[in-house]
């Protein structure tokens, strides 16, 4: 297994970025040769790639399942584009990061080998950007995604960690949000109209997580759209203990391997 700290200047967000990468090289389960499938994984609100790597077993899962993992920092952006600040985090994770890592690492360029995932805010970011860039990503993994935070009256849910002003700055006013790529319900409905281009989805949520209800509502909506997702729930809350547990079924979903 190779553990890499990358650094390059991002044109999309006009600053240096420091992705963390796990490559499934030289391991006991080596049944996958390069170029490797890749999972681009997005941390949650107030989190970062290095912190998420430390709390999770990405090194083990990269080796066991033969999937490279690239972790990117999101800086509380909800992985959306802010044109006024020149901080295009959606394009960064959906286009630029993929292009740069493919150019310097032994990663597959095929859509069927390229996935996006995340936890909490990153789960929301994975959903909207997986749907925004379906030509790049074939599967979306959401662990306790931050769904339902945006409301027509602009008042966030009580459990939303983002202050009202910050949420408006990242997701826009309701008029700007509704019907845009940030509006995951609208984006999912549009994607379902062309099911061959709609990424497959995996959604996991702890049974004690306050976000389980909007997660279940989204799963039900996808069922109505005839684009059912793979659902996983177990005892647990909105924390790394549950997310670490959910990675095993998530990697099984990505690779089709029951075990490795």
Quick one: how far is CA 141 from the chain centroid? 6
Q: Are strands 8-10 and 15-17 parallel, antiparallel or unpaired?
A: antiparallel
pLDDT value, residue 73: 92
- Low-confidence stretches of the chain (pLDDT < 70) are 26-31, 259-260
Beta strands in 130-234 (DSSP E): 139-143, 200-206, 230-234
pLDDT value, residue 30: 65
pLDDT value, residue 82: 93
| CATH number for the domain whose boundaries are 2-255 | 3.40.50.1820
Picking from 153, 180, 175, 174, the residue whose alpha carbon sits closest to that of residue 80 is 180
Read off the tokens for 200: 């497959």
Picking from 183, 184, 163, 165, the residue whose alpha carbon sits closest to that of residue 175 is 183
Contact assessment for residue 22 and residue 58, using Cβ atoms and an 8 Å cutoff: yes
Rounded distance, CA 244 to CA 116, Å?
17
Locate the domains of the chain by residue range. Answer: 2-255
What one-character DSSP code corresponds to residue 180? Answer: S
pLDDT value, residue 28: 64
Cα dihedral 110→32→198→209 (10° resolution): -140
pLDDT value, residue 18: 95
Summarised one tens digit per residue, pLDDT across range 232-243 is 999 999 999 999
Q: What is the pTM of this model?
A: 0.95
């Amino acid at each position: 297994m190779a553990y890499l700290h990358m650094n390059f200047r991002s044109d999309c967000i006009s600053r240096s970025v420091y992705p963390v990468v796990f490559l499934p090289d030289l391991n006991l389960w080596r049944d996958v040769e390069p170029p490797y499938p890749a999972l681009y994984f997005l941390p949650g609100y107030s989190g970062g790639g290095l912190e998420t790597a430390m709390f999770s077993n990405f090194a083990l899962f990269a080796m066991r399942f033969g999937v490279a993992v690239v972790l990117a920092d999101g800086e509380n952006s909800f992985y959306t584009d802010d044109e006024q600040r020149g901080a295009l985090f959606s394009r960064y994770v959906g286009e630029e990061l993929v292009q740069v890592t493919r150019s310097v690492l032994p990663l597959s360029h095929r859509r069927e080998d390229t996935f996006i995932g995340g936890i909490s805010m990153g789960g929301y970011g994975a959903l909207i950007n997986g749907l925004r860039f379906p030509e790049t990503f074939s599967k979306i993994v959401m662990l306790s995604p931050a769904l339902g935070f945006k409301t027509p009256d602009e008042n966030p849910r009580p459990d939303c960690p983002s202050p009202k002003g910050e949420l408006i700055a990242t997701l826009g006013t309701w008029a700007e949000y509704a019907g845009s790529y940030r509006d995951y319900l609208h984006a999912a409905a549009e994607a379902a109209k062309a099911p061959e281009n709609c990424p497959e989805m995996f959604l996991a949520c702890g049974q004690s997580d306050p976000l389980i209800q909007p997660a279940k509502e989204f799963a039900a909506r996808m069922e109505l759209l005839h684009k059912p997702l793979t659902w996983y729930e177990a005892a647990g809350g909105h924390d790394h203990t549950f997310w670490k547990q959910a990675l095993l079924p998530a990697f099984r979903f990505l690779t089709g391997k029951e075990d490795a």
